[in-house]
Chain A
């Protein structure tokens, strides 16, 4: 089946530093990847849609200068949290859509990255 990996699985950093999270589709190509944020006991909130070779589309209320997204290849998208603060602590999940598409718009989700900012 389609597999999406994320790295790192967890990270602890100091306030003010930047953290990069990678999302890779391992056995398929993904023109579109999505970044979500999940708070405890909350739903997944879509942050941005990442399209290979073009700028990401951010959801309302998400600061694009703070959450930098790069989708340089068909198998890799990165999310960089710049100048992280404790309120950025969360569980970040990516998903990828197979370039071949499907009638159900199936997305394959990564295992998530737990970010803790001290």
Chain B
């Protein structure tokens, strides 16, 4: 299976909270990331969490990490239409001589009025 798995779609109403879930495989990953991709654009790093943390909050974003279950989630409070995008979960992995993010397939977040 995939190294990083996440559901493909999430639909929420404007103003509600969105929760995007992700599972990963490498328990030695030191960093886990959330990226946002708007239509036709590249990826933007939204936030990250270090593996020795359980939670990180950054304005409307809350990241929860359950290392035991290798589960990561991103909560967006007061979701706005501008939050509609694809959200990628990624774990830091060593490839060759570099550490790079290994991405999931992305979750398409659709925010409707």
A residues whose Cβ falls under 8 Å from a Cβ of B: 4, 6, 9, 32, 34, 41-44, 46, 49, 57, 59, 93, 95, 97, 104-107, 109-112
Contact = CB atoms under 8 A, between A and B. Distances in A.
B100 to A, nearest CB: 6
B31 A105 contact: yes
B88 A107 contact: no
A93 B101 CA distance: 14
A36 to B, nearest CB: 8
B100 A41 contact: no
The 5 closest A-B pairs by CB, nearest first: A109-B42, A109-B43, A43-B103, A111-B42, A105-B99
A34 B100 contact: yes
Given A43-B2, A49-B95, A112 B8 contact: no
A87 B95 CA distance: 26
Most chain B beta-carbon neighbours within 10 Å: one of A44, A57, A97, A112: A44
Main secondary structure of the interface of B (DSSP, over half): strand
B45 A46 contact: no
B33 to A, nearest CB: 8
A43 B31 contact: no
Nearest to B2: A43
B95 A59 contact: yes
Contacts of B103: 43-44
Given A49-B95, A57-B97, A42 B43 contact: no
B104 A43 contact: yes
Contacts of B102: 46
